[in-house]
A and B are shown apart, each in its own frame.
Chain A
C-alpha cells in the first residue's frame, strides 16, 4: 500500500526557516518523481515544486512564488523527500502535501497518491 506521511510543520515566525519531510512507503521511492503542493486555509490547491528521480537527473522545478526561497531534495536511501523553506512569509501559511509522481508517456508526470498533509503557520 502506497503511503506518504508529511511531517515537520508547525508555527514559525516570518523570516525564519522550516524543513518538511515526506516519508514514503509501499513503493520503490527512487523510481519516482515527487511533488509538493499547498493549500492555504479555506483556499484552493497550489503547486509548490517538483523533483525528478535520479534516473532523470534529480532536477527540480518551482513555482514562481517560492523560487529562491524553497528547495526540494530527496534521500532515496531513506525514502524521504524534503521541502526546505527559508525566508518564510505569512502568505506561506498552508497545509503542505507531498505526492508521488509517476512518469507517464515520454514527457510528463501525474501526481497520483497524496499524503495527509502538514500544517505550516507563519506568524509573529
Chain B
C-alpha cells in the first residue's frame, strides 16, 4: 500500500497570512495513464470532507482561488494564499492512483 505522510500535523496561522501543507507518498503517484491522482480534501469541524484539489493542481468546482496545489512524483504541496476564518479545519491529501486509496494523517489548521 502507498503510505501518505503530511507535515506539519498542526498549523496555527494568522488571518490573512499564507499557509502551506506538505504531503509525501511512499512511491510515485504517476499512473500508467500519465496522470498523477493526488487530491486535497478539507474537513471543517462537524462537516464531511470536501474535495478542494484533484490531480495535483486542479481546483474543484466552487473552490476559491486562494487554494492552490503543486508538486510531482512523490512530493506535493497545498497552499492557502491568505487564510480566512472559514478555512479552519483538517486538510488531508489522498492518492487515487492505485487501490487501496490512502490518506495522509491530516493537518489541523486553526487561527492563532
Binding site for B on A (CB under 8 A): 35, 37, 44-47, 50, 61, 63-64, 97, 104-117
Known: A44-B104, A44-B106, A111-B51. 8 other contacts (CB 8 A): A45-B103, A45-B106, A47-B102, A61-B100, A108-B33, A109-B96, A110-B55, A114-B50
A-B CB contacts (within 8 Å), total count? 70
Closest to A112 in B: B51
Q: Could you tell me if B35 and A45 are in contact, using CB atoms closer than 8 angstroms?
A: no
Chain B residues, Cβ within 8 Å of A114: 48-51
Among B48, B54, B99, contact of A110 (Cβ-Cβ < 8 Å) = B54
Q: Could you tell me if B54 and A117 are in contact, using CB atoms closer than 8 angstroms?
A: no
Chain B residues, Cβ within 8 Å of A111: 39, 51, 94, 96, 101
A-B contact pairs, 20 of them (CB 8 A): A44-B92, A45-B92, A45-B106, A47-B100, A47-B101, A64-B100, A104-B55, A105-B33, A107-B32, A108-B96, A110-B39, A110-B54, A110-B55, A111-B96, A111-B101, A112-B60, A113-B51, A114-B48, A115-B48, A117-B48
**B: number of interface residues (CB 8 Å):** 29
Chain A residues, Cβ within 8 Å of B50: 114
Q: Could you tell me if B37 and A108 are in contact, using CB atoms closer than 8 angstroms?
A: yes
Among B31, B104, B106, contact of A105 (Cβ-Cβ < 8 Å) = B31
Among A61, A105, A117, contact of B99 (Cβ-Cβ < 8 Å) = A61
Most chain A CB within 10 A, of B48, B50, B99, B103, is at B48
- The complex places the Cα of A112 from the Cα of B96 at a distance, in Å, of 11
Chain A residues, Cβ within 8 Å of B92: 44-45
B45: CB under 8 A from chain A? Answer: no
